[in-house]
Amino acid sequence: MNDSERALRNKRISHAIMLVILILLFLLFIAPFLLVVINVFKTKADITSNPLALIGKHGFTIKNFPEAMRKMDFWKVFLNSLIITVCSTILTILFSAMAGFVIVRNKWAACTLLFSAMIASMVIPFQVLMVPLVSVYGGILGVLNHRLTLILLHTGFSVSMATFMFHGAIHTNIPIELEEAAFIDGCTRWETFWKIVFPLLRPTIATVAIIDAMAFWNDYLLPSLVLQKKELYTIPIATQSFYGTYSTDIGLVMAALLLAMLPILILYLFLQRYIVKGVTSGAVKG
């Protein structure tokens, strides 16, 4: 066997080993989701006795879904989660994209200081802010139990990371020549951002939308601190109604979890194609 054949064989072996490792990691990652899908169509007794069985002794059932939707008042909490997630994500994208653009294109000391403060704020754990947040917004300002309060808090806590991502995308992938050409054609700075820069940020917008929408939709801690009224509950808070003091209906919990997963899965499938697109593909020629 010559050197080229030996190198080819070693390359194939390394690829096979890598493929096996990736498959094992994928199965490990997706195992919790598969367990939810398998057990959601079983009775409580079947889940308790054999959670790994594909079909329980009592057969296939879909009773968990209507019972879970009734008990958690699904459509109301779904609407609350949808309003909060959509509004928070849109505000985060708009404010972060504009902030990133201003910081990149202006060499002011204030921009450098602001960006440094945003980066520094990303390392502060949320648990440090829990008590001051409840004390100030609840005890002093009295603005808890409002969707708008939660929307603004979500936006404030997520805007630093999003600005960091937009800053990198604009600085690396959007050439200044595009903006200079727009200025020559008579566009203002405002028009240049919305007509030239912002459309080219679609891959970053999709990435930020997926990351933040998943975080907002699945968040339990912050909504549990802000929303105390039952009519304002989001899906993660409403799922707590299935956990009793002495017993828990696992089938209803699985149904609630699956109902909570579906919107985010649909969003990801819809936006994933934008992530792999080049930001400025074909924008500058010559």
71-275 in CATH: which number?
Answer: 1.10.3720.10
- Dihedral sign (CA 178, 180, 181, 183): positive
pLDDT score, position 285: 42
Average pLDDT on 14-23 reads 93
pLDDT score, position 277: 55
Residue pLDDT, tens place only, 24-67: 999 898 888 888 888 888 888 888 788 778 787 777 888 888 88
Average pLDDT on 7-19 reads 88
CB atoms within 10 A of CB 72: 24
Residue pLDDT, tens place only, 252-284: 888 888 888 888 888 877 777 765 554 333 344
Query: Domain residues of the chain, as ranges?
Result: 3-39, 71-275
CB atoms within 10 A of CB 178: 16
pLDDT score, position 281: 39
pLDDT score, position 158: 93
pLDDT score, position 271: 73
pLDDT score, position 276: 58
pLDDT score, position 245: 52
Residue pLDDT, tens place only, 95-144: 999 999 999 988 888 888 989 999 888 888 888 888 888 888 877 788 88
123 in helix, strand or coil?
Answer: coil
Residue pLDDT, tens place only, 199-215: 988 888 888 888 899 89
Average pLDDT on 226-251 reads 79
**Where does the chain have alpha helices with state H?**
3-39, 44-49, 64-71, 74-105, 109-121, 126-134, 147-173, 176-184, 189-192, 198-200, 202-218, 221-226, 235-238, 250-275
Contacts of 240 (CB under 8 A, 6+ apart): none
Percentage, residues of the chain above pLDDT 70? 92
The segment with the largest mean pLDDT, out of 133-142, 185-194, 244-253, is 185-194
pLDDT score, position 240: 78
